[in-house]
Amino acid sequence: MSTDADCPFCKIVAGEIPADVVHRTGSTVAFRDLNAQAPTHVLVVPTSHHENAAALAQAEPGVVAELVDTAHEVAVAEGLEGYRMVFNTGAAAGQSVFHVHLHVLGGRELAWPPG
């Protein structure tokens, strides 16, 4: 498993930085976003470090499916009737932590198209 000693999400996975963890599997950790953009805003990350979704898909394609499955389990546990899953890839798309993470957003009407 690859990690990055300077990555805040790797530190959350390792338990070095506290987080409100809502779900954990062998390959994923889901925790509440500190900068929530909806009543429910959870980040689902792989336990291994990859910069973005495309890099994860090349290295560990099965983990991409597990991220989506974990996101669904979180949405069900949160009682969401509908929800959005978002991967941001690159700074121009709003990615600020370069450890792939899947945003799970719900609990309010979500406009389309997104910002």
List the catalytic residues. 101
Give dist(CA 74, CA 49) in Å, integer. 21
Residue 64's identity, in one-letter code, is: V
Phi, psi at 69, each rounded to 5°? -60, -45
What does the block give as tokens for 114? 């997104």
Between CA 99 and CA 35 the distance in angstroms is: 17
User: Which one-letter DSSP state was computed for residue 34?
Assistant: T
